[in-house]
Chains A and B, each alone.
Chain A
Amino acid sequence: MTPLNAKTLLWLCIAQGMALLPSFFQLPLWLPFFWCATVAWRTQVYRRALPLPSLRWKVLAAALGILALLFSFNRFFSVESFVTFFVIAFSLKLLELRYRRDGLMLVHVTFIGLAISFLFYQSLLMVIYALVVLVLVAHAWVMLYRGETLSARPDWRYALLLVVQTLPLMLVLFLTMPRMSQLWNMPTPGEQGRTGFSDSMSPGDFSNLVESDAVAFRVSFEGGQAPPPSTRYWRALVLEHFDGRSWHRQPGWRSSLRHSQTGQPPQEWEPQAGAERIQYSVLMEPHREPWLFSLMLPVSASSTSLNLRFTSFATLSSRTRVGSRVQYEVTSAPEYRWQSTSISSFDFRNNTQFPKALNPQTIAYGEGLRQTLGSGAEADREIIQRVLQRFHERFRYSLSPPALGEHAVDAFLFETFDGFCEHFAGAFTLTMRAAGIPARVVVGYQGGEWNPLESYLIVRQREAHAWAEVWLEGEGWRRVDPTAAVAPSRIERGLSGAVSTGEDTIDSAAGDLGLLLWMQLRLDAFSYTWQKFVLSYDSNVQQAFLSALLGGAELWRMGLFFVGATGSLILLYYLISTYWQRPKTRGPLDRALQRVLKQCATLARARHHGETLEAYLSSLQRSHPDLAQRLKPLMDRYQAMAYEPSAHSEEAIRSFRRACRRF
């Protein structure tokens, strides 16, 4: 049983620590210390300062780790708790390492640690970091099995060679290996990393998001052209239930998800036949929620990584929470009607309810409008116009509206006049309901920044938006954005154009168009390309890519490509290494000997392929003794020189060649 060498162990630990370092940022703070403590203990054992821990110490350390684990997590079935448990387990295993085979286990753990780190971080930088770790692992690994007595150790170049030779093969596998869909559901990592809005809306929610530059999703459009900014309403959620302050989804909202067939939107949607369609592909950052984003009326949608479905609110949703970056393709109809002729009594009731006890002024305002303008579709339109007109005249769009009291909508509508999109959307919808018009709040994103470098739209968290939808007889559901009435530039030019100066930090950044902006766009374009082509390389992209590369995506083509590419790579490696490693002095000696052997071949017989010189000589001794007699001294000299390179000089080689020529 070969014991584990101290230096090798140290390198193994370094590789492992580097593999786990990224995930340590996502795990409990004490964990890296626990890991370091076990590493320190093990190194002390090697320095003979400490003995290998006895069973009692090991049990104590394990108990300590498990206890800390129990205190750190309140949810046990999360990725983080599993990973923490895993790290504790192999940290303890570190205390037992004795033999070389245990070293191999450290290598395995390093690979798993790297996989875990990839769950948390997927940027290009992370990949470069991972490559460094892989070279480190390869180095430590080769140290584990190298010949201990050798003076020359397999060095970094050898580890680098192994990794460099592996990468092209990996690329072939990455491109050709078929992708499977999820085998079973896994808990999603990074619960604390939640960004974006939630499934309820209260005053102040969205103004918090404004601070965030984080990307929500990126979209590229078929044809490379985005629809105009004023129509870029990315619908995500429809909130129907109002409790006097916040808007929520209707309790029992699951009933609205009854349409579970993918690709089949509900019948009551009426896209205008024959009109143009917008096709786009959304690459979405994980938001740990099921809802997805789409424009206008989605008529078809598909995804390889998501289980998509249509909701009855004309939005898209995923069967599971979106825990990783996903891509989906949507076709939307810009011209459509929706429940144009009638609204179900269930929907009517849901979209006209409001608590009577709160916001009395607003309710009175709405009811007053109805009384003065009478009933009918025309009156409905007039009511909408009046309210929007009021917003336009009296209200101000602000990122930091004052706090509101118990009757939040009343305070906003009649006292402060200062608000953000959720204030306008909420107040407008309540007024409509008070006036008896079915209305609801829609949340999502509005706008997006166009990146001309790669022709795609970047939608950030600060573009989160809320607006309203009202139902008009004969027209169906129609979008009304009260924010547009207050600050039309918010819709036309984005947030930075809308907020009044002196109030905001985004302004300065936006004013500094030029190099900085270009760099920012360049960087984002780069990361978008990375995500779109590497991180989102799924079976669809694979099919498209391989059929473009091979002229078709049939199985035999892919098989042939795979076998051909891997085979030629391995052959290339073989040839390169045998060429590089050939003996230095072989050249002149061998050429001289070959000349002699050629003469022998004409005089007696040729040497068989693979026949050793001795065997050849002894067979000649039987058949052509005199030839063998002359050949033997040459052969002896050749053997001596070829196998003992230190024993021959330039002079010796020259004299050997002379002897051969004389022969």
Chain B
Amino acid sequence: MQLRRTQFMRWVDRRLPPARAHALSQKNLFIFPSARGLAYLAVMLVVWVIGTNYQNNLVLALAFFMVSFFVVGILHTFLNLSGLRVEYVGAGDAFAGQEFSLRFKLVVRRQRAVHAVSVCWSGDEKAGVELSCDGQGQLEFSVPLYTDQRGKLALPRMSVSSVFPLGIIRCWTWLNWDVPVLVFPAPMAYPLHAATTSDDLGDGLHPVRGGEDFSGLKPYQPGDSLRRVAWKAFARGQGVFVKDFQQNASREHWLDFDALQELDRERRLSVLCYWVLQYFQAEEHFGLILPTQKVQPDKGYQHRTRCLIALAEFPK
């Protein structure tokens, strides 16, 4: 049974290769009566037996109506999902041990409304979202996900299903996402006694990005703070630049992997992660020393993300 199941899933994977956007069509939609559909068919059988035993053509016709209604229901259940597109939009920060959400977009290119489409990760049917859309437009939604493993996350299949209009037939698909999701270690509060390498001298030997002293313009990159955009240059039509500041840090923290000798690897990463977040909050300068790489001291959101990525990608 288990074997057949995995074989089936392998077949599903072949049929639905990972992608960043999926168009739902007869190629990837599955349709089957639900348990309630079987109950409905049982009621249909009862009506048929009544009709046959009383040799009553109208009761038989009612039984045939029920079968035909079921068949029409299959078509309409399929039509509710067919032609929709689901696209990946992006992800927020993902920490192990915390629920995080991935954002997707439902694109409807038809006039008919989309009713009660439930989206969830396969294997976790309870936590999901139900989507409805009045037709022609798009709808952003996020699906919560949970993992306790840091690092590159292989997304589970996303189940997109609907039982509208009759509730007795289920139409669904499993979408595979070709989407990089990096899960940062779970932050763990822990004192950083000797782990902090402070340059107490403050003689400015470590020029760090960010600070108060203007040092020139550099081209805008997504993620740069809008407050730092050189609006005057922009108004002159020279393009989008940001003002670059530098400061000679007077005090900087070093987060050192090897300084946390008493903890195992994952815990050390968790502690470092916690402090990365703490220092970012406090807008302090910090650097990160891992056995594999060294991140120079800096501050700001991009720096924080760089550090977190380094932690998440630390070899297991």
Chain A interface (Cβ within 8 Å of chain B)? 100-101, 104, 108, 111-112, 114-116, 118-119, 122, 126-127, 130, 134, 138, 141-142, 144-152, 154, 158, 162-163, 165-167, 169-170, 173-174, 177, 179-186, 305, 323-324, 326, 534-538, 566, 570, 573-574, 577-578, 580-584, 586, 610, 612, 614-615, 642-646
Contacts and interface: CB of A to CB of B under 8 A. Distances in A.
Contact of A134 (B65, B111, B131): B65
Nearest to A584: B111
B9 interface: no
A639 to B, nearest CB: 9
Of listed B47, B134, B136, residue having the most chain A CB within 10 A: B136
B52 A104 contact: no
Given A152-B113, A180-B52, A183-B49, A170 B68 contact: yes
B36 A104 contact: yes
Given A147-B130, A166-B69, A643-B109, A583 B53 contact: no
Contacts of B132: 146-150
A517 B132 CA distance: 60
A570 B54 contact: no
A612 to B, nearest CB: 5
B181 to A, nearest CB: 19
21 contacts: A112-B43, A130-B58, A141-B167, A147-B130, A147-B131, A162-B73, A163-B69, A166-B72, A170-B67, A181-B55, A324-B55, A534-B57, A577-B75, A578-B79, A580-B111, A581-B112, A583-B136, A584-B111, A584-B136, A610-B23, A615-B19
Contact of B109 (A174, A583, A615): A583
B46 to A, nearest CB: 7
Given A536-B57, A577-B79, A645 B64 contact: no
B58 A111 contact: no
Secondary structure at chain A's binding surface: helix, strand, loop or mixed? Answer: helix
Contacts of A122: 56, 58
B65 A183 contact: no
B76 interface: yes
Interface stretch (B158-166, B223-231, B257-265): B158-166
Given A118-B62, A537-B57, A612-B21, A574 B75 contact: yes
Given A581-B112, A614-B20, A184 B53 contact: yes
Contacts of B114: 147
Contacts of B115: 145-147, 150, 154
A141 B72 contact: no
A174 B60 contact: yes
B307 interface: no
B66 A118 contact: no
B62 A111 contact: yes
B31 to A, nearest CB: 13
Contact of A148 (B61, B76, B116): B116
Nearest to A182: B53
Given A169-B71, A645-B137, A174 B165 contact: no
Interface in B243-271: none
Contact of A173 (B58, B67, B83, B133): B67
